[in-house]
Amino acid sequence: MRYFEGRPNVLSEPRYILYFNQELRNNLYHHVGFLNLQSFVKPGYSGWPRSRFPYDSEPNYTFAMEAKAQGAVVTYVHPGLPSEYPVDFALGAADALDVLCQNDEEVNTAAWYKLLNCGFRVPISAGPDSFLNIPCHLVAGAGRVYVQTRPTLDYGEWIEAFRRGHSFATNGPLLDFTVDGLGPGHEIHASAAGRLVEIKGQAHSIVPMESLEIILNGRVLEQVWARGDRTEVAIARTFNVNESGWLGLRVRAPGHRLAPNDREVYAHTSPVYVSVEGQSPGERDAARFFVEQIDQLIERVTRQGKFETPAQRERVIALFRKGQDVYRRIAHEARR
């Protein structure tokens, strides 16, 4: 907290910006990051035994909404389940997800796909959770999120482009992805009869890649295998989009020493969203998955949560039930 300034640090230069932000920590609800903060969200942690704030009386939602009120972007860092993040995405308190982190990317990606398949617009993010005050720890910057902005670097513009999902996350390969010329974070509209679109993707890498994939609503639409030295690969597909949802570009490959912190080489764009006239993007099984995850979260709160009064516990559970109802509604209205 002593390093927090609410503005770019004086060491910033035209080609890079240093901005100290905040990670809120609660081990029952999990950890969440606030970017573009103007003032520190206090207390900064909760639910830690033998601390000044030992109780779980306030969910992450409370602090996330306080951060968003000052223009912050809220991203769940090193996410896992069960946790609060399905609730916060359902209730509009979270913006992005650290799919690329020190946790298993395959597990994170599968859960992220389910959020997208519920119809939520969730940009990908990344973060290594590196502790710079420990001699031997995760490599800082090994997992990164790249955001497309104008040539002149501006922090406010970067934040807004990050919020909109003009981005990709990677531990090595660099991606370029368009659908009818529109990149990640944009939206394609189609009639009920569908729309023929041109999908293009490219990847460049200093580490060998295995394949480049176009992902449609969580499944592989097209796959191209890398050849030669496997440092460049391109893919193209003309496709009739006739269902609401999303498209993305993904790289996967075996691990490499130049992709530290991870067992595999990984890169993935944020989605290009598809809206088909008269169609809901919701997927029934994805929504039911999060209904079950929130049940598990509530069970943990009931069994493990530390509260000063029963009323505090019931207030938190009521909030989580409110988020769960969103997924129930998605499941009820889902077309598939």
Other C-beta atoms closer than 10 Å to the C-beta of 41 total: 20
The dihedral sign for the CA sequence 150, 156, 160, 165? positive
pLDDT at res. 135:
79
Residues 103 and 179 in one domain: no
Average pLDDT for the chain: 95
Residues 10 and 119 in one domain: yes
Among candidate residues 251, 279, 307, the one where a domain is terminated:
279
Overall number of domains in the chain = 3
- CATH assignment of the domain containing 237: 2.60.40.10
Is residue 148 classed as helix, strand or coil in its secondary structure?
coil
Residues 51 and 127 in one domain: yes
Residues 2 and 140 in one domain: yes
Residues 152 and 295 in one domain: no
**pLDDT 10s digit of each residue in the chain, 336 long?**
677 899 999 999 999 999 999 999 999 999 999 999 999 999 999 999 999 999 999 999 999 999 999 999 999 999 999 999 999 999 999 999 999 998 899 999 999 999 999 999 999 999 988 887 887 788 888 899 999 998 899 999 999 999 999 999 999 999 999 999 999 999 999 999 999 999 999 999 999 999 999 999 999 999 999 999 999 999 999 999 999 999 999 999 998 888 888 889 999 999 999 999 989 899 999 999 999 999 999 999 999 999 999 999 999 999 999 999 999 999 999 877
Residues 35 and 136 in one domain: yes
Find the helix packing angle between 105-117 and 284-304, rounded to 10°.
Answer: 120
Which residues lie across from 202 on neighbouring strands? 176, 234
Helices (runs of H) and strands (runs of E) counted in the chain: 6, 16
pLDDT digits (tens, 9 = 90+) for 278-324: 898 999 999 999 999 999 999 999 999 999 999 999 999 999 999 99
Residues 179 and 92 in one domain: no
Among candidate residues 259, 279, 299, the one where a domain is terminated:
279
Residues 24 and 11 in one domain: yes
Residue 132: domain span: 1-170
Residues 163 and 178 in one domain: no
Residues 164 and 177 in one domain: no
pLDDT at res. 149:
95
Exposure letters 127-155 (e unless 16+ CB within 10 A, then b): bbbeeeeeeeebeeebbbbebbbeeeeeb
pLDDT at res. 5:
93
pLDDT at res. 60:
98
CA dist 101 and 80 (Å) reads 11
Q: What is the pTM of this model?
A: 0.96
Residues 127 and 50 in one domain: yes
Residues 233 and 288 in one domain: no
pLDDT at res. 16:
93
Among candidate residues 170, 186, 208, the one where a domain is terminated:
170
